[in-house]
Structure 1
C-alpha cells in the first residue's frame, strides 16, 4: 500500500498499545474529558466494557510510512463520550 500522505511504500505490521488510544476533535483540558471522545479498539474486541478490555491491545494490519511517519490501522470505534438523547 502506498502512503496517502507522501505516496511512498508503507510497511505492514502490528500496532501494540498499553492503553486504548482515542480520537477527538476537541482541545484536551485538565480534569475534563472531551464529549466527542471515540475509543479505538481492536476489530476482534466484542466487549466495549472498559473493565474487561485487554490492557495491551494489538491492532493487526497496521501500516507504517517510515518517510513521513504516518501510521494507519483498522479498528473498532467505541463511542463512549457522546451523549445520546433518549
Structure 2
C-alpha cells in the first residue's frame, strides 16, 4: 500500500472522486427528468437511485480523504478479534 502515499496518487484518488460526483449528478438529473409519479417507480428509477447513492458516497469519501483513505486506525482491545 505504500504506492498510495505519493502526491500523485492523492491527486488521482481525488480526481476519481470528482468524476464519481459528476456521475452522481448526471444520474440524479436523469432521475429527475424521468418524472416518475409517486409509488410507481420501476427498475430504471431504482437503478438510477442506487447508482447515484453509491457514486455520491464513494466520490465524497475519495474527495475528502484522498490518500488517507488507506490509513490504519487504532482499535481498542475490546473490539479486536480474539
Same fold (TM over 0.5): no
Q: Which has the higher contact order (CA 8 A, sep 6+)?
A: 2
Q: What TM-score, normalized to structure 1? A: 0.24
Q: What TM-score, normalized to structure 2? A: 0.24
Structure whose CA Rg is larger: 2
Higher normalized strand content (fraction of residues): 1
